[in-house]
């Protein structure tokens, strides 16, 4: 793409399900709909039955307060819920209980910011507001929405707490939007209010315009990955239209995973007839309540980066990498603090093992760290065995998989005893090393093929006698032949 | 004496002293209903089997001394918009035909499950409580026991006619702009609309949720006080209920009203008031003065804006509250399922809502729409605040406000059907009380020259139901007309 970033204006509305809340926003039904039979976590309130009334889940206010504090928003001391009226099959009451910052209404919190790093310079993304609202029911189709012969409705999702974060129109590229969402995801993880790796926890609407032209709103972006593609598509489309001399229409478009399709233009914009929800009383947030939550608020990612650098003498790069997953960073700190003899070298070593080998393994196997049996002490044990010369780094790397199953390196060394290494790639690696390190013996081999025994001996030495001599011999011969040292 | 002559509290006494069994009470209640129902049409649904079964259970419990309910065995009529588990609750509407809620309203839990009352059936009402005559019911009108050609008032018309005619001693109604007090006045019984937030609305199907309150209707103040004692109070399921103690209303009734100051707002006695209504209400005020009360004149400068304010707010809220009726999850859908989901929703709503409901939904939708919201809804809220202020000023000078409940006595069926505006004006003396959220009591004070009952309204300060019940009781004892049973005939004038 050839856009000059200043031309593009993007604002995001990010809806996040508070998946860590046990119950729904206005009733006591369980909010764990992912593992439940459809329509089992329902009651008169979340089904919107006649006569039922909402009651605010106090915990949702606490969660919203955590996020507002983490995003540096200004929490309003008093707010109301509003009704957003529209008819749809997923909306049992015909209105969604939400918030509104016009017509006398107030958002849960105003302002706030998220700092992102883009091309190694920092940028502050200003927020407009955050507010609470209820999730509509989930619609289930057979196959695609267009071809499905029916629509099924699962009210287990109806009434689950959503928090909406609205940015100012200050993002200037899809890459910035992606970076913003990554940061937001991280902050959400750190506040402990949701788990955005769960499917359906995130929905994004994006307002996109090219400077000097009307904006289009793209709805239904349902994952982090999709946001960037949807934005790139929409920007390209708008630039193309402008180039052709066409007017951009102010409209709402729908992202179908591939392209954006027009939904409705401004004249047909829905009128949601927002007005106060009087089944709920205004909610007052006291300063003491906010202070208490502030006291228990975990350290935020940007603060942690600074502390990790200071406390463990890590580079900015290492610290920034570590905090990308709160649980990895927690694992790290847990580990390095277990061994009082650790100093800067071990801090660095531990970080390298964790970030290069363990995280690599987790990504390859699509697992989270707490889904494995790896304990922080396993890495301490690994580092100490290498230090003592009980095992080489190379071999240790081959044992990561076993370590993730809860086996310590010490135990493996003990169990395996002199068990042979028969993996050809490893033996080959050692053999190449030996060849590189012993040019004189190589020369000898040209005259006396028996000199090969000396090379094999050195491989055995490097592997502490564990390399299979037969395989080692075979590989050494192949290598030397390839080098035309022997015939 | 037939049981329908007894007040509710007398019947409870007879049951408790085992003079009569609960099964006999329920049996005789249905006999009275079967005798009179054809003339009155108080009920849209009778639950005889269920009631008799429950009576049998309660009798057995009573025999074993296992039950202590305050209103054990008391037959009641329940307005068709208060949810009773597994019992039809249709709000007088075709759109909820055959709907049976899976849960009880809080007041039902208190009154029936906890204190032992028995619901004998669902009483008729204006569809979704929208009306002042019960003519807007999808199941046909209810007739006034004092003159079968006249309306019983509304929207709790069935709850009123069933009590007035002795079908049941007590009923539950709801009041959004006068829906308890209006039919109580027209049928010559007692009805109270409690302070907004005094009685839980959980399980009350919303019409205008910032105005609705459930309240009891009975033939005497004591009965109404007794039921209110039971159903009032904070409910964690209704965020708008207030967590303050409930007075023992029945114990306060005998207090002297000497030195109580009664406010008389001149605007409530203005134009449009039927001559003998005005006279008879004034006469009752004199009686209260005779009992030692003082009287002070009041002014309500914003009363003239009451009707537009009330209807703007009520219709706006109604348009949203009634959005859930699309036929998809409960109730009936149109038989014709052609077109997309919006077409089916529209067709269902067009076919199954009555004309008054459609009118109010359309007007309410309009007033909440972009561009009109500030002009109508916001402005109405501002006037509502002014009306509230008028009352607050008033209660600095008096303990209660007294006035007529309705500007006229009951009108004839069909008389105002083609003139909705005239019908709306009937609420002028009741709906300011809802706008302010105050409690209001209506008791019968006399009859007009046609022999139709006249309602006397007593409006109290917030959560001061105790004072208005006390004043009402004192007046009732003084007037002593409350045992009169209506003739169930056509008067023909
Ligand atoms: Zn629920």
Write the DSSP string, A103-153.
Answer: TT---SEE--EEEEEETTEEEEEEEEEEEEEE--PEEEESSSTTT-S-EEE
pLDDT higher at B255 or A220: B255
Which pLDDT score is estimated for A409? 86
- Residue A53 is nearest to which of B239, B341, B342, comparing CB atoms? B239
Cβ pair A50:B99 closer than 8 A = yes
Cα separation of B125 and B96, whole Å?
14
Which residue segments constitute the domains of chain B, with CATH numbers given? 1-493 (3.90.1300.10)
Q: Residue B255: left if φ>0, alpha if ψ -120 to 50, beta else—which one?
A: beta
Cβ pair A55:B326 closer than 8 A = no
Mapped onto helix, strand or coil, the DSSP state of residue B7 is coil
Which pLDDT score is estimated for A294? 94
B contacts of A284 (beta carbons < 8 Å): none
User: What does the pLDDT average to over A391-412?
Assistant: 86
| A358 has pLDDT over 70 | yes
Residue carrying structure tokens 């005259």: A447
| A209 has pLDDT over 50 | yes
Whether A95 contacts chain B with CB within 8 A = yes
| CATH numeric code, A424-482 | 1.10.10
Tokens of residue B317, six digits:
């809220």
Active-site residues of B, by number, are 79, 155, 179
Q: In A172-274, which residue ranges form alpha helices assigned H by DSSP?
A: 174-191, 224-243
| A174 has pLDDT over 60 | yes
Q: How far is the CA of A157 from the centre of ligand 1 (A)?
A: 9
Shortest Cα distance from B110 to chain A (angstroms)? Answer: 16
Which pLDDT score is estimated for A165? 97
What is the gyration radius of the CA atoms in chain B, in angstroms?
21
Best probe of the B interface among A53, A139, A271, A280, by most B CBs < 10 A, is A53
Map out the domains of chain A as residue ranges: 5-292, 299-416, 424-482
Which pLDDT score is estimated for A257? 86
A contacts of B79 (beta carbons < 8 Å): none
Neighbours of A162 (CB within 10 A): 23
What is the gyration radius of the CA atoms in chain A, in angstroms?
29
Neighbours of B471 (CB within 10 A): 27
| A469 has pLDDT over 90 | no
The tens digit of pLDDT for each residue in A276-307 reads: 999 999 999 999 999 999 999 989 998 999 99
pLDDT higher at A55 or B371: A55
| A134 has pLDDT over 50 | yes
Query: Scanning every residue of chain A, which has its alpha carbon at the shortest distance from the alpha carbon of B364?
Result: A273
The tens digit of pLDDT for each residue in B430-481 reads: 999 999 999 999 999 999 999 999 999 999 999 999 999 999 999 999 999 9
Q: How far is the CA of A31 from the centre of ligand 1 (A)?
A: 9
Exposed/middle/buried for B188, CB within 10 Å: 0-12, 13-18, 19+?
Answer: buried
Q: How far is the CA of A46 from the centre of ligand 1 (A)?
A: 4
Q: In B242-305, which residue ranges form alpha helices assigned H by DSSP?
A: 249-252, 275-290
Which pLDDT score is estimated for B246? 96
Which pLDDT score is estimated for A266? 66
Q: How far is the CA of A165 from the centre of ligand 1 (A)?
A: 25
Q: How far is CA A450 from CA A116, A173, A399, A456, B273, in A?
A: 63, 65, 34, 11, 128
- Residue A275 is nearest to which of B82, B316, B330, comparing CB atoms? B316
User: What does the pLDDT average to over B205-224?
Assistant: 98
A377 membership: H or E segment, kind and range? helix A376-387
pLDDT higher at A409 or B36: B36
Query: What rounded mean pLDDT belongs to chain B?
Result: 96
pLDDT band at residue A146 using 50, 70 and 90 as cut-offs: confident
Query: Scanning every residue of chain A, which has its alpha carbon at the shortest distance from the alpha carbon of B372?
Result: A273
Which pLDDT score is estimated for A399? 86
The A82-85 sheet, strands edge to edge: A95-98, A82-85, A275-276
Which pLDDT score is estimated for A417? 60
The tens digit of pLDDT for each residue in B294-318 reads: 999 999 999 999 999 999 999 999 9
Shortest Cα distance from A126 to chain B (angstroms)? Answer: 29
Cis peptide upstream of residue B155 (ω within 30 degrees of 0): yes
Cβ pair A95:B323 closer than 8 A = yes
- Residue A95 is nearest to which of B82, B205, B320, comparing CB atoms? B320
Cβ pair B237:A53 closer than 8 A = yes
The tens digit of pLDDT for each residue in B37-72 reads: 999 999 999 999 999 999 999 999 999 888 789 999
The tens digit of pLDDT for each residue in B261-286 reads: 999 999 999 888 999 999 999 999 99
Q: How far is the CA of B13 from the centre of ligand 1 (A)?
A: 41
Shortest Cα distance from B321 to chain A (angstroms)? Answer: 8
The tens digit of pLDDT for each residue in A309-328 reads: 999 999 999 999 999 999 99
Query: Scanning every residue of chain A, which has its alpha carbon at the shortest distance from the alpha carbon of B128?
Result: A50
| A19 has pLDDT over 90 | yes
| A4 has pLDDT over 70 | no
B contacts of A44 (beta carbons < 8 Å): 101-103
Question: Which neighbouring-strand residues pair with A254?
Answer: A219, A261
Best probe of the B interface among A44, A51, A134, by most B CBs < 10 A, is A51
Whether A51 contacts chain B with CB within 8 A = yes
Shortest Cα distance from B327 to chain A (angstroms)? Answer: 11
- For residue A266, the 8-state DSSP code is G
- Please answer whether residues B69 and B115 qualify as being in contact, where contact means their C-beta atoms are separated by less than 8 angstroms: yes
| B212 has pLDDT over 60 | yes
- For residue B376, the 8-state DSSP code is I
Q: How far is the CA of A23 from the centre of ligand 1 (A)?
A: 8
Best probe of the A interface among B105, B210, B239, by most A CBs < 10 A, is B239
Residues 6+ apart with CB under 8 A from B228: B192, B194, B199, B215, B216, B249, B465, B469
The tens digit of pLDDT for each residue in B366-410 reads: 999 988 998 999 999 999 999 999 999 999 999 999 999 999 999
B contacts of A271 (beta carbons < 8 Å): 369-370
Examine the predicted complex and report whether its ipTM is higher than 0.85: yes
A contacts of B99 (beta carbons < 8 Å): 50
Cβ pair A55:B236 closer than 8 A = yes
Cβ pair B102:A273 closer than 8 A = no
CA A122 to chain centre: 20
Whether A273 contacts chain B with CB within 8 A = yes
- Residue A279 is nearest to which of B240, B322, B365, comparing CB atoms? B240
Exposed/middle/buried for A169, CB within 10 Å: 0-12, 13-18, 19+?
Answer: middle
User: What does the pLDDT average to over B238-250?
Assistant: 97
pLDDT band at residue A194 using 50, 70 and 90 as cut-offs: very high
- For residue B319, the 8-state DSSP code is H
pLDDT band at residue B126 using 50, 70 and 90 as cut-offs: very high
Cβ pair B342:A87 closer than 8 A = yes
pLDDT higher at A418 or A416: A416
Which pLDDT score is estimated for A1? 44
Shortest Cα distance from A93 to chain B (angstroms)? Answer: 4
Which pLDDT score is estimated for B157? 98
- Residue B328 is nearest to which of A44, A55, A89, comparing CB atoms? A89
B contacts of A92 (beta carbons < 8 Å): 324, 329
The tens digit of pLDDT for each residue in A153-168 reads: 999 999 999 999 999 9
Q: How far is the CA of A155 from the centre of ligand 1 (A)?
A: 9
Cα separation of A380 and A453, whole Å?
37
Whether A236 contacts chain B with CB within 8 A = no
Cβ pair A281:B240 closer than 8 A = yes
**What pTM does this model have?**
0.89
Mapped onto helix, strand or coil, the DSSP state of residue B82 is strand
Q: A190-212 burial string, b = 16+ CB within 10 Å, else e?
A: bbebbebeeeebbbbbbbbbbee
Nearest Cα to Cα of residue A180 among A368, A319, A11, A306: A11
| A200 has pLDDT over 60 | yes
Which pLDDT score is estimated for A2? 47
User: What does the pLDDT average to over B100-108?
Assistant: 98
Q: Hey, what's the torsion of the CAs at A140, A144, A146, A147, to 10 degrees?
A: -100
Q: How far is the CA of A65 from the centre of ligand 1 (A)?
A: 23
- Residue B365 is nearest to which of A49, A55, A273, comparing CB atoms? A273
pLDDT higher at B357 or A247: B357
Residue carrying structure tokens 């009920």: B43
- Residue B323 is nearest to which of A49, A85, A278, comparing CB atoms? A85
């Amino acid at each position: 793409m050839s856009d000059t970033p200043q031309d593009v204006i993007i604002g995001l509305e990010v809806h996040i399900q508070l998946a860590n809340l046990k119950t729904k926003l206005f009733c006591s039904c369980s909010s764990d709909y992912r593992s439940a039979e459809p329509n089992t976590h329902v009651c008169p309130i979340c089904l919107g039955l006649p006569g039922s009334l909402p009651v605010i889940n106090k915990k949702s206010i606490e969660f919203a307060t955590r996020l507002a504090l983490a995003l540096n928003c200004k929490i309003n001391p008093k707010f109301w819920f509003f009704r957003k009226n529209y008819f749809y099959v997923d909306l049992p009451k015909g209105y969604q209980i939400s918030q509104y910052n016009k017509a006398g209404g107030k958002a849960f919190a105003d302002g706030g910011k998220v700092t992102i790093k883009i091309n190694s310079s920092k940028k502050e993304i200003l927020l407009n507001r955050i507010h609470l609202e209820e999730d509509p029911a989930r619609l289930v189709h057979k196959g695609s929405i267009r071809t499905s012969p029916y629509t099924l409705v699962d009210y287990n999702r109806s009434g689950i707490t959503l928090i909406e974060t609205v940015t100012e129109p200050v993002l200037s590229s899809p890459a910035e939007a992606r970076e913003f969402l990554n940061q937001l995801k991280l902050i959400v993880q750190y506040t402990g209010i949701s788990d955005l790796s769960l499917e359906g926890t995130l929905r994004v609407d994006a307002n996109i315009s090219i400077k000097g032209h009307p904006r289009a709103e793209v709805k239904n972006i349902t994952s982090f990955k999709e946001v960037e593609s949807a934005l790139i598509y929409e920007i390209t489309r708008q630039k193309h239209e402008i180039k052709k001399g066409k007017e951009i229409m102010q409209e709402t478009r729908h992202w179908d995973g591939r392209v954006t399709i027009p939904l409705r233009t401004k004249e047909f914009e829905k009128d949601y007839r927002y007005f106060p929800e009087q089944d709920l009383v205004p909610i007052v947030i006291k300063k003491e309540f906010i202070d208490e939550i502030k006291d228990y608020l975990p350290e935020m990612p940007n603060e942690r980066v600074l502390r990790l650098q200071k406390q463990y003498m890590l580079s900015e790069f290492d610290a920034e990498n570590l905090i990308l997953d709160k649980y990895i960073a927690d694992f790290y700190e847990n580990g390095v603090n277990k061994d009082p003899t650790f100093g800067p070298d071990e801090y660095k070593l531990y970080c390298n093992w964790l970030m290069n080998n363990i995280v690599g393994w987790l990504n390859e196997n699509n697992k989270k760290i707490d889904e494995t049996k790896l304990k922080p002490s396993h890495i301490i044990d690994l580092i100490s065995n290498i230090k003592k010369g009980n095992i080489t780094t190379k071999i240790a790397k081959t044992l990561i998989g076993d370590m993730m199953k809860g086996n310590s390196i010490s135990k493996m060394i003990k169990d395996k005893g002199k068990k042979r290494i028969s993996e050809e790639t490893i033996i080959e690696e050692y053999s190449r090393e030996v060849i590189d390190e012993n040019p004189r013996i190589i020369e000898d081999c040209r005259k006396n093929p028996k000199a090969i025994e000396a090379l094999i001996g050195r491989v055995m030495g490097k592997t502490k006698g564990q390399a299979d001599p037969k395989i080692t011999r075979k590989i050494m011969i192949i290598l030397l032949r390839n080098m035309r040292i022997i015939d | 004496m037939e049981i329908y002559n007894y007040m509710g509290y007398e019947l409870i006494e007879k049951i408790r002293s085992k003079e009569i069994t609960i099964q006999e009470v329920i049996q005789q209640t249905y006999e009275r209903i079967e005798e009179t129902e054809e003339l009155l049409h108080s009920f849209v649904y009778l639950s005889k089997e269920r009631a008799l079964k429950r009576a049998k259970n309660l009798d057995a419990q009573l025999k074993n001394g296992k039950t202590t309910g305050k209103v054990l065995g008391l037959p009641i009529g329940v307005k068709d918009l208060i949810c009773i588990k597994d019992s039809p609750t249709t709000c007088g509407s075709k759109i909820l035909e055959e709907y049976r809620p899976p849960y009880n309203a809080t007041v039902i839990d208190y009154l029936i499950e906890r204190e032992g009352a028995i619901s004998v059936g669902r009483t008729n009402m204006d569809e979704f409580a929208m009306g002042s005559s019960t003519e807007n019911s999808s199941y046909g009108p209810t007739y006034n026991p004092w003159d079968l050609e006249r309306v019983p008032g509304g929207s709790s018309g069935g709850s009123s006619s069933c009590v007035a005619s002795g079908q049941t001693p007590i009923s539950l109604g709801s009041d959004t702009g006068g829906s308890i007090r209006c039919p109580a006045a027209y049928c010559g019984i007692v009805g109270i609309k409690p302070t907004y937030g005094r009685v839980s609305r959980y399980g009350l199907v919303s019409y205008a949720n910032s105005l609705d309150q459930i309240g009891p209707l009975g033939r005497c103040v004591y009965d109404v006080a007794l039921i209110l004692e039971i159903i009032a109070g904070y409910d964690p399921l209704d965020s708008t209920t207030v967590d303050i103690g409930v007075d023992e209303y029945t114990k306060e009734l005998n207090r002297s009203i000497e030195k109580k100051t009664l406010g008389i707002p001149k605007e409530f006695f203005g134009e449009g008031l039927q001559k003998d209504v005005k006279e008879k209400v004034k006469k009752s005020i004199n009686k209260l003065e005779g009992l030692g009360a003082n009287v002070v004149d009041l002014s309500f400068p914003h009363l003239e804006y009451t009707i537009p304010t009330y209807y703007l707010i009520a219709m706006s809220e109604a348009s949203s509250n009634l959005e859930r009726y699309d036929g998809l999850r409960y109730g009936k859908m149109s038989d014709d399922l052609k077109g997309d989901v919006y077409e089916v929703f529209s067709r269902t709503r067009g076919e199954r809502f009555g004309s008054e409901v459609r009118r109010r939904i359309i007007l309410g939708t309009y007033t909440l729409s972009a561009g009109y919201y500030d002009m109508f809804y916001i402005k109405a809220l501002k006037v509502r605040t002014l009306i509230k202020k008028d009352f607050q000023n008033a209660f600095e000078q008096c303990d209660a406000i007294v006035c007529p409940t309705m500007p006229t006595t009951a009108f004839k069926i069909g008389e105002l059907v083609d003139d909705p505006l005239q019908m709306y004006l009937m609420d002028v003396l009741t709906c300011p009380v809802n706008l302010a959220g105050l409690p209001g009591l209506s008791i019968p004070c006399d009859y007009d020259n046609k022999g139709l009952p006249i309602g006397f309204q007593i409006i109290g300060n917030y959560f001061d139901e105790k004072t208005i019940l006390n004043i009402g009781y004192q007046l009732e004892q003084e007037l002593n007309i409350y045992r009169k049973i209506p003739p169930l005939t056509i008067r023909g004038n």
